[in-house]
A and B are shown apart, each in its own frame.
Chain A
Amino acid sequence: MKKILSISLLSLLATNTFAGGYRISMQGQRQLAMGHTGVAVIGQNAESLFFNPASGTFLKNKWSFSAGATALVSNVKFQNSLYNWSNSTTNTGTPFYFYGNYQASDRFSVGLAVYTPYGSSVEWDQDWPGSHLVNNIDLQAIFVQPTVSYKITDNISVGAGLIYVNGGVTFNRNLSRSMVDENGNRSDVTIDAAGVSAWGYNLGVTARLDDYVTFGVNYRSQIDMKVEGGDAKFHDMPSFLGGTYTNGKFDASMPLPAELTIGFSYQINDKWLAAVDYNHTFWKAYDNLVIDFDNPAIATSVNPRNYKSSGTMRGGLQFAPSEKFSARVGGYYDISPVQDGYFAPETPRNDALAGTVGFTYQVTPKFGIDFAASALHFKETKNSYDHYIEDGTHVSFGGDYRSSAYSLGLGLSYNF
Chain B
Amino acid sequence: MKKYQSILLAAFAFSFVACEPEFENEVTNESYSKGEADFTTYVALGNSLTAGYMDGTVYRSGQQYSFPNLLAKQFAVVGGGSFTQPSFSDDTNDLGGLLLMGQQAAATRLIINMSTGGPQNLTGTPTIEISNLQAKAYNNMGVPGAKSFHLLAPGYGNLANVATGKANPYFVRHATSPNTTVLSDAMSMNPTFFTNWIGANDVLAYALSGGVGVSQEGNMDPSTYGSNDITDRQVFASAYTTIVNTLTSNGAKGVVATIPDVTSIPHFTTVPYNPLTAEALGGEATVDQLNAQLLGPLKQILTALGQGNRINSFSKTEGNALLVKDETLTDLSQQITAVASQNQQLAPIAGLLGQLYGQARHASRNDLFVLGTSSVIGTTSTAPIFANVPSPYKELFSKIGVTFPLEDKYVLVPAEQTIIKTATKEFNDIIWAAARSKKLAVADMNAIMGYLTGGIRLGDGQWYTADYFKGTGNMNKVLFSLDGVHPNPRGYAFVANEIVKVINEHYKAKLPMLVPGNYPGVTIKASN
Seen from chain A, the residues whose Cβ lies within 8 Å of a Cβ on chain B are 4, 7-8, 11-12, 73, 75, 77, 79-86, 88, 90, 129, 176-180, 182, 184, 238-240, 242-243, 325, 327, 357-359, 361, 371, 373, 375, 378, 380, 386, 390-397, 400, 402-404, 406, 408
> Are B520 and A180 neighbours in the complex by a CB distance under 8 Å?
yes
Which chain A residues lie closer than 8 Å to B31 at the CB level?
Answer: 81, 84
> Are A357 and B11 neighbours in the complex by a CB distance under 8 Å?
yes
Partner of A12, one of B14, B61, B460, B524: B14
Say if the beta carbon of B392 comes within 8 Å of chain A. no
> Are A373 and B461 neighbours in the complex by a CB distance under 8 Å?
no
- Report the stretch among B102-110, B182-190, B363-371, B472-480 that lies at the interface: B472-480
> Are A240 and B526 neighbours in the complex by a CB distance under 8 Å?
yes
- Given the contacts A395-B460, A396-B461, A380 and B24 also touching, CB distance less than 8 Å: yes
Say if the beta carbon of B7 comes within 8 Å of chain A. yes
> Are B11 and A4 neighbours in the complex by a CB distance under 8 Å?
no
Say if the beta carbon of B338 comes within 8 Å of chain A. no
> Are B18 and A73 neighbours in the complex by a CB distance under 8 Å?
yes
> Are B14 and A373 neighbours in the complex by a CB distance under 8 Å?
yes
Which chain B residues lie closer than 8 Å to A390 at the CB level?
Answer: 462, 476-477, 517
> Are A79 and B27 neighbours in the complex by a CB distance under 8 Å?
yes
Contact with A along B1-28 (1 / 0, CB 8 A): 0011011101111110111111111111
CA distance A151 to B475 in the complex (A): 66
- Report the stretch among B50-58, B250-258, B507-515 that lies at the interface: B507-515
Q: Most chain-A CB neighbours within 10 Å: which of B6, B23, B525?
A: B23
- Given the contacts A361-B4, A391-B476, A396-B460, A402 and B11 also touching, CB distance less than 8 Å: no
> Are B520 and A393 neighbours in the complex by a CB distance under 8 Å?
no
> Are B21 and A77 neighbours in the complex by a CB distance under 8 Å?
yes
- Given the contacts A8-B13, A12-B17, A327-B7, A391 and B474 also touching, CB distance less than 8 Å: yes
CA distance A402 to B490 in the complex (A): 30
> Are A395 and B474 neighbours in the complex by a CB distance under 8 Å?
no
A398 vs chain B, min Cβ distance (A): 9
Query: Which bracket fits the contact residues of B?
Result: 35 or more
> Are A238 and B524 neighbours in the complex by a CB distance under 8 Å?
yes
CA distance A75 to B19 in the complex (A): 8
> Are B513 and A178 neighbours in the complex by a CB distance under 8 Å?
no
> Are A82 and B21 neighbours in the complex by a CB distance under 8 Å?
no
> Are A4 and B10 neighbours in the complex by a CB distance under 8 Å?
yes
Q: Most chain-A CB neighbours within 10 Å: which of B77, B112, B460?
A: B460
Q: Which 8 A-B pairs have the closest CB atoms?
A: A84-B512, A8-B10, A406-B18, A11-B14, A239-B526, A404-B21, A79-B27, A240-B114
> Are A373 and B15 neighbours in the complex by a CB distance under 8 Å?
yes
Say if the beta carbon of B246 comes within 8 Å of chain A. no
> Are A408 and B11 neighbours in the complex by a CB distance under 8 Å?
yes
A376 vs chain B, min Cβ distance (A): 10
Say if the beta carbon of B32 comes within 8 Å of chain A. yes
CA distance A11 to B9 in the complex (A): 12
CA distance A177 to B15 in the complex (A): 38
- Given the contacts A85-B27, A359-B7, A178 and B520 also touching, CB distance less than 8 Å: yes
CA distance A378 to B524 in the complex (A): 44
CA distance A277 to B11 in the complex (A): 25
Seen from chain B, the residues whose Cβ lies within 8 Å of a Cβ on chain A are 3-4, 6-8, 10-15, 17-28, 31-32, 61, 74, 77, 112, 114, 459-463, 473-477, 490, 512-515, 517-521, 524-526
Partner of B21, one of A75, A81, A327: A75
Q: Is the interface of B mostly helix, strand, loop or mixed?
A: loop
> Are B514 and A83 neighbours in the complex by a CB distance under 8 Å?
yes
Which chain A residues lie closer than 8 Å to B77 at the CB level?
Answer: 84
> Are B526 and A242 neighbours in the complex by a CB distance under 8 Å?
yes
> Are B15 and A406 neighbours in the complex by a CB distance under 8 Å?
yes
> Are B515 and A83 neighbours in the complex by a CB distance under 8 Å?
yes
A182 vs chain B, min Cβ distance (A): 8
> Are A177 and B518 neighbours in the complex by a CB distance under 8 Å?
yes
Which chain B residues lie closer than 8 Å to A357 at the CB level?
Answer: 11, 14
A219 vs chain B, min Cβ distance (A): 34
CA distance A240 to B471 in the complex (A): 12
Closest to B490 in A: A178
CA distance A101 to B320 in the complex (A): 85
A301 vs chain B, min Cβ distance (A): 15
A78 vs chain B, min Cβ distance (A): 9
- Given the contacts A403-B21, A404-B20, A240 and B32 also touching, CB distance less than 8 Å: no
Which chain A residues lie closer than 8 Å to B517 at the CB level?
Answer: 177-178, 390, 395
Which chain B residues lie closer than 8 Å to A75 at the CB level?
Answer: 19-21
CA distance A238 to B12 in the complex (A): 50
- Given the contacts A84-B512, A373-B11, A77 and B518 also touching, CB distance less than 8 Å: no
B491 vs chain A, min Cβ distance (A): 12
> Are B459 and A82 neighbours in the complex by a CB distance under 8 Å?
yes
Which chain A residues lie closer than 8 Å to B112 at the CB level?
Answer: 240
CA distance A373 to B7 in the complex (A): 11
A191 vs chain B, min Cβ distance (A): 21
CA distance A395 to B517 in the complex (A): 9
Q: Most chain-B CB neighbours within 10 Å: which of A7, A182, A239, A395?
A: A395
Closest to B464 in A: A393
B282 vs chain A, min Cβ distance (A): 31
> Are B20 and A88 neighbours in the complex by a CB distance under 8 Å?
yes
Closest to B31 in A: A81
Partner of A404, one of B14, B18, B459: B18
CA distance A395 to B27 in the complex (A): 23
Partner of A380, one of B17, B23, B473, B512: B23
CA distance A66 to B339 in the complex (A): 109
18 contacts between A and B (CB under 8 A): A8-B14, A11-B10, A75-B19, A81-B27, A82-B459, A84-B512, A176-B476, A178-B521, A179-B476, A357-B14, A359-B4, A371-B11, A375-B17, A390-B517, A391-B473, A392-B473, A402-B23, A404-B20
Which chain A residues lie closer than 8 Å to B15 at the CB level?
Answer: 373, 406, 408
CA distance A80 to B513 in the complex (A): 10
Which chain A residues lie closer than 8 Å to B475 at the CB level?
Answer: 391
> Are A178 and B461 neighbours in the complex by a CB distance under 8 Å?
no
CA distance A397 to B515 in the complex (A): 10
CA distance A82 to B473 in the complex (A): 29
> Are A84 and B474 neighbours in the complex by a CB distance under 8 Å?
no
Partner of B3, one of A4, A406, A408: A4
